[in-house]
Structure 1
Amino acid sequence: MPRPADAPKPTPAELDLLQVLWPMSSATAKQVHEEMLKERPDVTYATVLRLMQVMHGKGLLIRDESERSHVYAPAHARDALQTNLLKDLMQRAFAGSAKALVLAALKSGISKKERDEIERLLKEDKPEDKA
């Protein structure tokens, strides 16, 4: 199995499908289609099946063919793939600067709740002053 850093970058449609599949751990195309219908009533079963087949070919999904209905699972954990995508974005759009990426994210608008959570995380990570 390839490392997430070596994995192909998912398209927006593939990311949408992964967002549905990650909480399910593994599922058939029919199960994924039924779950996707809740958010996108226009998506067809054929589209979901074809996308999952393409994603398997690209190495984004693994497939268990032991049953009549193939069962698919993400090839990479959510956090590993998200970290890989974030590093790629940081390199391509922000010249490798984590600070520039964070500042751009903050400027795009965050809620008070999100700001409070970020401040809490920063305070927790701050080393204690030893006098």
Structure 2
Amino acid sequence: MTHTPFSKPTDAELEILQVLWQYGPCTVRFVNEQLSQTKEVGYTTTLKIMQIMHEKGLVKRNDESRTHVYEANVSEETTQKHMLGKFLDMAFRGSASKLVMQALGNHKASKEELNQIRKLLDKIEGGEK
């Protein structure tokens, strides 16, 4: 099986990754129960998607016991950076300012979010990364 350095997750795969990032290693049943809280999804569908994710290298599977346990094989931060970079290039022609202006114009940022943005800007202006 050939793995690419980063395999872009589909929307369904991203939902599963969100569960794994939040809870750590999980069984298919647990992931399915979490997904079922917001939408109707069958167990076999969740299982099949997670099997495909394993083939793509997005998740690792521990099959030492009868119940397989899956865990994310990609970090949340790496996934976000990669997906945001692609989105920024495609939707905003690489302009971070256009992205930020659009995001802040369409979403009321909390005081805490604005403070985090200010700290990041101060850090960037200070020459840090």
**Could you tell me the TM-score, scaled by structure 2's length?**
0.81
Cα deviation, residue 85, structure 1: 0.6
Deviation by residue 1:22-74 (Cα, 9 ceiling, x = unmatched): 1121111011112222333x222111111111111122111112221111111
The structure whose RCO (Cα within 8 Å, separation 6+) is larger is 1
SS at match of 1:76: coil
Q: Distance in 2 between matches of 1:102 and 1:16?
A: 24
Q: 2:30 maps to which residue?
A: 31
Deviation by residue 1:95-126 (Cα, 9 ceiling, x = unmatched): 22222222222222223433344235434554
Q: 2:54 maps to which residue?
A: 56
Does 2:78 align with 1:80?
Answer: yes
SS at match of 1:80: helix
Q: Which runs of 5+ in 1 are unaligned?
A: none
Which letter does structure 1 place at the counterpart of 2:88?
M
SS at match of 1:8: coil
**Could you tell me the TM-score, scaled by structure 1's length?**
0.80
Q: 2:11 maps to which residue?
A: 12
Which deviates the most, 9-18 or 117-126?
117-126
Q: Distance in 1 between matches of 2:44 and 2:106?
A: 36
SS at match of 2:77: helix
